[in-house]
Chains A and B, each alone.
Chain A
């Protein structure tokens, strides 16, 4: 266990001010969640954040995500992030957090250097993919949703920024653990239990479809022909038993927070 850094009064005040501001947002749960995450990123000087449902997360296996929400990314940059996450070195680079998480099954938040103790990141062929996504540093928070799925939040910094500090991770952890409704809603009803049976390319396509991207955009972001992208889209529709893009998005839509 890393030692817990204590908060300064300025940090506590920033957090309280942020939450007070989020309380005045009346555009619903998704808007409050985004505003809260954007605000936390400001406090810890993160460049962007992503929130995903991790299906059947096990140590050393390729993590399978369904993207739920993110901030600070353009469409193109988000597609690059998805590609970087799919790199085969990723499980080895996050073994530090996954071992501990699978042992404790409790909400933990870790810095990049705690996750990747051997610093594989710097030597891996994944590095150029991350740099292409405009990312060099990250901190990750993972929390059980139920027996089959986990809520994963990651904050990122650009290559020209310094790494996150224990204070940054502490602030992220406080918000993600003390604001339980951040995790309570917004998961697909079946927790994406069948997502792992999709192929890797289909999963990438699924995540971009959930962003509302068109077949043409998906083809361009994943370096596919529109024809191939269409085939993936058809396979995904048939997998989830839906007839349209709207119906698919509806299946994975964020909840309205009605029973937070």
Chain B
């Protein structure tokens, strides 16, 4: 845990705010679908907090206890470049990492009485209202910032930022910046893009999972593997999905979801 400088924690650096406004302004100006904007914003934030890579994953809770959650979608940036790749790939799966509240929460808990600043209430992360929670993990000694948020009844989203093992841990300023952006820009954790949401929600659960994998370019074999079902069953699901959306081909289906993920 970092030594925490209270001044640093309580006073937001205006330079950081301006840089964030500029970054968001670029994201807005950038033509592209939701996932491209997500990619741009998360990569920009990665640079601002001097992380090396970011990963976004959506998990669907298992129906049976003791089964791992199904990972529906991974977007990532910067994982393959730099020195991080080997240690990153050695990390345990995201959903199995034991997450603990960031030292922000700790700090707030410990200092709530001694702080008499109007901003103190803003120090709280993981407000119920946004159901987002900032967590830090020292798994594998890879400095990381993880943000988890419930996506719907059965699924949750985790966004992680990582540094190489030899790098210092993230500072309180960097935690705070990540927290503010991940809390306020609500769509970062959300599946899909408001405009993309076709009627995918009416599909049965397994077909919806298949659809998610399908429109992100996974083969029938890969989908069968991921969902632990036979390739034959995947074929049946795909037929049902095509007929649901009235399309003839995967290309046509993918065009229906320019933003990537349906709800």
CB contacts (< 8 Å) of A6 on chain B: these are 11, 14
A106 at the interface (CB under 8 A from B): no
With both beta carbons as reference points, the residue of chain A lying nearest to B196 in the complex is identified as A26
Contacts of B251 in A (CB 8 A): none
Which residues of the other chain, A, contact B180 by a CB distance below 8 angstroms? Answer: 9, 12-13, 16
> Does A8 lie within 8 Å of B184, measured CB to CB?
no
> For A19, A32, A36, which residue has the most chain B Cβ atoms within 10 angstroms?
A19
Interface pair B18/A178, CB less than 8 Å apart:
yes
Q: Which residue from chain B places its CB closest to the CB of A11 in the assembled complex?
A: B17
Q: Does B4 contact A (CB under 8 A)?
A: no
Q: Verify B17–A20 contact, CB threshold 8 A.
A: no
- Give A12 to B180 CA distance when docked, in angstroms: 9
Interfacial chain B residues near A17, Cβ < 8 Å: 184-186
Q: How large is the interface on B (under 10, 10 to 19, 20 to 34, 35 or more residues)?
A: 20 to 34
CB distance from B102 to the nearest CB of A (A): 16
Chain B residues whose CB sits within 8 angstroms of the CB of A174 once the complex forms: 17-18, 21
Q: Kindly supply a per-residue 1/0 record for chain B positions 1-32, scoring 1 wherever the CB is within 8 Å of any chain A CB and 0 otherwise.
A: 00000000001101001101110110111000
Q: Which of the residues A7, A8, A23, A26 comes within 8 Å of B24, measured between beta carbons?
A: A23
B45 nearest CB across to chain A (Å): 11
The interface centre, meaning the residue of A26, A179, A180 with most chain B CB atoms within 10 A of its CB, is A26
Residues of A within 8 A of B37 (CB): 23
Within 8 A of B (CB), among A11-41: 12-13, 15-17, 19-20, 22-24, 26, 32, 36
The reply on A10 being an interface residue by CB < 8 A is yes
- Expressed in whole angstroms, the Cα–Cα distance for A22 and B24 within the complex equals 9
Shortest CB distance B195–A (Å): 5
The answer to the question of A181 belonging to the interface, with a C-beta cut-off of 8 Å to chain B, is yes
CB <8 Å contact, A178 and B29? no
Interface size on A, residues (CB 8 A): 26
Contacts of B27 in A (CB 8 A): 19, 23
Q: Say yes or no: B29 contacts A257, CB within 8 Å.
A: yes
Chain B residues with Cβ under 8 A from A13's Cβ?
A: 122, 180, 183-184
Q: Is the CB–CB distance between A16 and B21 below 8 Å?
A: yes
| Distance to closest chain B CB from A181 (angstroms) | 5
- The answer to whether B193 has its CB under 8 Å from any CB of chain A is yes
Cβ–Cβ contact B21 & A19, under 8 A: yes
User: Which residue, B14, B28, B41, B185, has most C-beta atoms of chain A within 10 A?
Assistant: B28
Residue B193 contacts which of A7, A24, A180 (CB distance < 8 angstroms)?
A: A24
Partner of B28, one of A7, A12, A16, A22: A22
Q: Please, which residues of chain B bring their CB within 8 A of the CB of A22?
A: 24, 28
Interface string of B122-159 (1 = CB under 8 A from A): 10000000000000000000000000000000000000
A201, CB-defined interface residue at 8 Å: no
Contact status of A12 and B12, CB under 8 A, knowing A19-B24, A260-B29? yes
Answer whether residue B181 sits at the interface, using C-beta atoms and an 8 A cutoff: yes
Q: Which residues of A contact B187 (CB under 8 A)?
A: 20, 23-24
**A175, CB-defined interface residue at 8 Å:** yes
Task: Tell whether A7 pairs with B184 under 8 Å between CB atoms, given A16-B21, A19-B24.
Answer: no
Is B62 an interface residue, CB under 8 A from the partner? Answer: no
Inter-chain contact B185/A181, CB cutoff 8 Å: no
**Which partner residue on chain A sits nearest B185 by CB separation?**
A20
Does B86 interact with chain A (Cβ within 8 Å)?
no
- Please name all residues of chain B whose beta carbon is closer than 8 Å to the beta carbon of A178 when the two chains form the complex: 18, 21-22, 25
Q: How many whole Å from B186's CB to the nearest CB in chain A?
A: 7
Q: Is the CB of A7 within 8 A of B29?
A: no
Judged by a CB distance under 8 angstroms, whether B68 is at the interface is: no
Query: In chain A between 175 and 190, which residues have their CB closer than 8 angstroms to a CB of chain B?
Result: 175, 178-181
Residues of B within 8 A of A15 (CB): 17, 21
A20 x B186 contact (CB < 8 A) = yes
- Write out the residue numbers on chain B whose beta carbons fall within 8 Å of the beta carbon of A257: 29
User: In the bound complex, how far is the Cα of B184 from the Cα of A183, in angstroms?
Assistant: 25
Across the interface, do A16 and B20 meet the contact criterion of CB distance under 8 Å?
yes
Contact of A16 with B24 in the complex, beta carbons under 8 Å: yes
Known contacts: A16-B180, A24-B193. The answer to whether A175 contacts B21 by CB under 8 A is yes
The residue from B14, B28, B122 contacting A19, defined by CB atoms under 8 A apart: B28
Indicate if the CB atoms of A20 and B184 lie closer than 8 Å: yes
- Report whether A32 and B28 are in contact in the complex, using a CB–CB cutoff of 8 Å: yes
Q: How far is the CA of A36 from the CA of B28 in the complex (A)?
A: 10
* B67 part of interface (Cβ distance < 8 Å): no
Other than the known A24-B195, A179-B21, what 4 A-B pairs have Cβ atoms closer than 8 Å? A12-B17, A12-B180, A174-B18, A179-B28
A sample of 20 cross-chain residue pairs with beta-carbon separation below 8 angstroms, ordered by A number, consists of A6-B14, A8-B12, A8-B119, A12-B20, A12-B180, A13-B184, A16-B17, A16-B24, A19-B25, A19-B185, A22-B24, A22-B28, A23-B27, A23-B187, A24-B194, A32-B28, A36-B28, A174-B21, A179-B21, A179-B28
For the complex of A and B, 10 pairs with smallest distance between CB atoms: A20-B185, A19-B24, A179-B25, A17-B184, A260-B29, A178-B21, A16-B184, A12-B17, A23-B28, A9-B122
